[in-house]
Structure 1
Amino acid sequence: MSLTFELSATRRDNTGTANARRLRHTGKVPAIVYGEGKDPMTITLEHHLMLANLEHESFYTQILDVKCDGQSEKVVLKDLQRHPSKAIIMHMDFQRVSDTSKIKMHVPLHFIGEDIAPGVKQEGGSVAHTVNHVDVLCLAKDLPEFIEADVSTLNVGEALHLTDLKLPEGVELLALQQGADHNLTVAIISKPRGGSEEDDDTTVESAPEPSPSE
């Protein structure tokens, strides 16, 4: 069952780098809510709660509920800035969503069927993931938390492409809108390392020894 996320926020009027630094020192995260033709709203969130939310993959691709000043906003997480070396969230951007406007989102792939793929189970190959996330376009109500990439029928040397993905209804892949050249390989089954059985059974003949000189 999917998690639901309700974010309790406080409106902030003071902006700027110095103010954001002070907020972070008090355990707060500066953030902004924008979009849908409304004025941007600057807010603060509890840092420890946001860190906990970020541990869940679905937080990045789910409709979130931001509650501030008695009002509720439906949003998605559009940008996240982290400290380069510390477990500190520097800033968060949230985009408002509606039932009628399509949004672009970065969605993870979940690979299934690897253990039963003929190329793995029968031929001893290994699955290599070449794409782990895809950019999608859809209405907010159709936004998937992830998209399954089924490799269960692949043999060694065969690949799964973007056009092979089974998309939920109402979801489009942005890459495919750019033409057939953007039908990227998602996964491929590589042959086992080392020689083949034929190589193992082959007898290598030694070169004849030279005749003794007269």
Structure 2
Amino acid sequence: MSIEIKAVKRDVKGTGASRRLRRAGNVPGVVYGGDKPAVSIEFDHKELFLQFRHEAFHASILSLVLDGKAESVLLRDYQLHPVRNTIQHIDFQRVSASEKIHVKVPFHFVNEDAAPGVKLGGGSISHIQTEADISCLAKDLPEFIEIDLSKLETGHSVHLSEVKLPKGVEFVQLAHGDDAAIATILKPRGGDDSAEAETPEAPAAE
């Protein structure tokens, strides 16, 4: 999926100028990195938000068109208005085809209902992590990582080391020796469904 966003250079800077931009329906931002200087830019908010609301926008190589020239970038930071949920500022980083990048990529959990721990054991799935930091070349960046829970038993967990990654992709945590759990199936509370239905849930002991 190729996502293109258009920007123009922003000559006027400062807090007051940014407020005026937002009132006019635009979003101030910056693009930096690579062997080029940082450039202050601005976007049409409606056009930008149409792309921003898609999951892929947050974990894909984007094509930023500035002054008629396209360059590959990654979303690196943004601020949202706490009430109106509009984009207040946005930052992009240029990426090189020959250098590895670190990006947070979302997990897509599949076959949850088919997991033996749920289907047969009556357990419930707990998502311990919903995304992970990966390292790869720009061309190898996946939009998401699929986590298959079809064989997960009650009380067991899926760890980073058990996930099959696309070629050229690695988990940063795992590379540093941290084989963290991604999801687990919690055992049903109490031993009997009928008893559990009549017994109020008690706080877990520390």
| TM-score in terms of structure 1 length | 0.87
Equivalence map 1:13-162=2 (5 Å): 13-162=11-160
Give the residue type in structure 2 aligned to 1:83: H
Amino acid at match of 2:37: D
* Structure of higher CA gyration radius: 1
In 2, the alpha carbon distance for the partners of 1:178 and 1:196 equals 42
Task: Supply the AA of the counterpart residue of 2:170.
Answer: E
Partner Cα separation in structure 2 for residue 147 and residue 73 of structure 1: 25
Distance 2:120 2:78 in 1: 43
SS at structure 2 position matched to 1:141: helix
Shift of 1:191: 1.6
Q: Hey, what does 2:161 align to over in structure 1?
A: 163
How far residue 176 of structure 1 moved from its aligned partner, in angstroms, is 1.3
Amino acid at match of 2:190: G
User: 2: CA distance between counterparts of 1:26 and 1:160?
Assistant: 48
Say which of 185, 188, 191 aligns to 1:195: 191
CA distances 1:150-169 after superposition (whole Å, capped 9, x unpaired): 11111111110111111111
- 2: CA distance, partners of 1:166 / 1:53: 29
Range that drifts further, 137-146 or 78-87? 78-87
Moved over 3 A (4+): none
Tell me the C-alpha RMSD between the 2 structures: 1.6
Identical counterparts, % of pairs: 47
Residues 152-192 of structure 1: per-residue CA shift (max 9 Å, x gap): 1111111101111111111111111222xx21111111122
In structure 2, runs of 5+ residues without a counterpart are 197-206
Distance 1:68 1:183 in 2: 41
SS in 1 for 2:57: helix
Aligned letter for 1:119?
Answer: G
What is the number of equivalent residue pairs in this alignment?
Answer: 195
1:39 maps to amino acid: P
- Give, in angstroms, the shift of residue 194 of structure 1: 3.3
Give the AA of the match of 1:194: G
- d(CA) in 2 for partners of 1:56, 1:77: 13
**Aligned equivalents of 1:13 and 1:46: distance in 2?**
16
d(CA) in 2 for partners of 1:40, 1:114: 45
Find the counterpart in structure 1 of residue 180 from structure 2.
184
Instruction: Name the CA distance, whole Å, in 2 between partners of 1:70 and 1:51.
Output: 21
| Secondary structure of residue in 2 paired with 1:9 | strand
Partners of 1:129 and 1:67 in 2: CA distance: 37
- Secondary structure of the structure 2 residue equivalent to 1:119: helix
